[in-house]
Amino acid sequence: MSRVRLVSPELISKEEESFNRTLRPPTLDEYVGQKKLVEKLSIALEAAGKRGEPLEHVLFYGPPGLGKTTLAYIIANAMGSKITTTSGPALERTGDLMGILTNLGEGDIFFIDEIHRLPANIEEFLYPAMEDFKVDFVVDKGMFAKTINVPLKKFTLVGATTRAGTLSSPLRNRFGLFFHLEFYNDDELRRIVVRSARILGAKLEEGAALEIAGRARGTPRIANRLLRRVRDYAEVKADGGITRAVARDALKLEGVDELGLDDLDRTFLDTIIRIYSGGPVGVEALAATLNEEVDTLVDMVEPFLLQQGFISRTKSGRKANEPAYRHLNQPLPRAAPPKLFE
């Protein structure tokens, strides 16, 4: 069973997904951050509305937890359309996809999360649906097999992926609009936290919003998750009022430090520095020392540490950088003496 981490950008439960749905902004005017994306998408939506046509197929790509699903719902709301949602791994048979496609109305939104994980047969079945709004369905087998051409109503496919590079060229080329989501800055996250607190009816001071935003690793999903934990702590320990001091105490209890690192992050860095003298060290050796799966370290721990410059990946393995030493209050390694050549 994989470790559940408060600072994971992935959804950690179905209950969290339901909770996040109540916090989603319904329009682009209320959407915080991604300024260039919002401007481009707003123009595309307005142009499609003036023509009375469905929006072109849209692909959102970027790290998890940044708002790809939220944007799909905003598109549906802006177009006054129904949205049908699924994920790549959930579509296993062409019959399942056929049922969804034939039930889509004119201008409806079909949202596929983790679209990079679509099976090859499903992906190929989508091509004519996206391009010509029709599908060829084969009935019977062998000499009795025949192909039925089924027309579809014009819909908009919205795909979301954390790995745009793994999409096949034929699928990628059928999208008309491409939008990359970037990490949020602290001020944008502060605004998101303030808005979420208002919806939740929480008494949040500005300093507390900044404290939460600074530890959210540039990710709105993490910011909202931290807000929930701080709110719970405040209701029990501080009569519901969320001050900066209350937020700090709550997040300290959760093990999330001022830069957003949790216990696993710090243990990972500490192991490289103290046990392996700062590295380089192979990830397999680290996994064995920490009693963690290699995939957990590669997918859940290293990306943020790499982004923040705490570690480097070298041919010889992982190496701790100066910011890691400073953050853990460890002495910097001594420079190796210069080699003398004859």
Active site residues: 68-69, 113, 162, 221
Helix (H), strand (E), coil (C) string for the chain: CCCCCCCCCCCCCHHHHHHHHHHCCCCCCCCCCCHHHHHHHHHHHHHHHHHCCCCCCEEEECCCCCCHHHHHHHHHHHHCCCEEEEEHHHCCCHHHHHHHHHCCCCCCEEEEECHHHCCHHHHHHHHHHHHHCEEEEEECCHHHCEEEEEECCCCEEEEEECCHHHCCHHHHCCCCEEEECCCCCHHHHHHHHHHHHHHHCCEECHHHHHHHHHCCCCCHHHHHHHHHHHHHHHHHHCCCEECHHHHHHHHHHHCCCCCCCCHHHHHHHHHHHHHCCCCCECHHHHHHHHCCCHHHHHHHHHHHHHHCCCEEEECCEEEECHHHHHHCCCCCCCCCCCCCCC
Extract the tokens encoding 66.
């940044």
Cβ contacts of 160 within 8 Å, gap of 6 or more: 59, 60, 61, 68, 69, 72, 111, 112, 113, 114, 115
Through-space distance between the first and last CA atoms of the chain, rounded to whole angstroms: 57
CA-CA distance, 224 to 233, in Å (whole number)? 14
